[in-house]
Each structure stands twice: as structure tokens, then as C-alpha cells.
Structure 1
């Protein structure tokens, strides 16, 4: 199944996809971080949205 790019949010809200610009835009806005901070968090804890959120909330960025 391909991504529906007309939807404003991610296709799977439990995972963060860095491969789609619209998903990166959604997650950076939703989490209040830069693309670089988002990429760093995903690199450290994986692409699970809750793990990334927890990592960022701990101030580990």
C-alpha cells in the first residue's frame, strides 16, 4: 500500500518515517524540534514515536 500524500499526518502514527518530507514536517511540528534533532533522536532510539517523544522530553537532544 502506498502512502496517501493528501493526508496531513503520518501513515503510521506509531512510527516516524524520515524518508518522506511531509512526515518529517509533521513530526518536527508535533514534537517542536528541528529536523536535525528529530534525525538524532531516531538514530539513537529508533523510529518508534513514543520512544522518540520520551527521548526528546528527557532533554537528551
Structure 2
């Protein structure tokens, strides 16, 4: 079971502050913008959020 959880963890962005900070640093933006991208896409999938952030640049 641990393997499945780890795989899911890599493909999603949670609401946890450290996850938002990591994704923001990776994309060169702010945690608030990452959170906004998550809400506007209605998804927590990392690829979807990153695509939305790229389109905002």
C-alpha cells in the first residue's frame, strides 16, 4: 500500500503549505498563485496545475 500512496503523492499538489511553497519555487511564482491555479482548474493534479501556471506567464 505504501507504494500506491507514494505514487499518488508525486502526481498531486496538496493544500499543505510546504507543498504549495515547493510548487511555487519550482514554477517561479508565489504559493497564492499556485493555490489559485488549483482552484481555477478544479484539480490537484500536478501536471494540470503546472500547465495552468505556464499559461499565466
TM-score, normalised with respect to structure 2: 0.72
Rounded Cα–Cα distance in structure 2 between residues aligned with 1:21 and 1:59: 21
Counterpart position of 2:54:
57
Structure 1: unaligned runs, 5 residues or longer: 2-10
Q: 4+ residue runs of structure 1 moved beyond 4 angstroms?
A: none
Segments of structure 2 that go 5 or more residues without pairing to the other structure are: 2-7
* Larger helix fraction of residues: 2
2:29 matched residue in structure 1: 33
The 2-side partners of 1:17 and 1:38 are apart by 11
Shift of 1:21: 2.1
Aligned alpha-carbon RMSD (Å): 2.0
Give the aligned length.
Answer: 50
Q: Which has the higher contact order (CA 8 A, sep 6+)?
A: 2
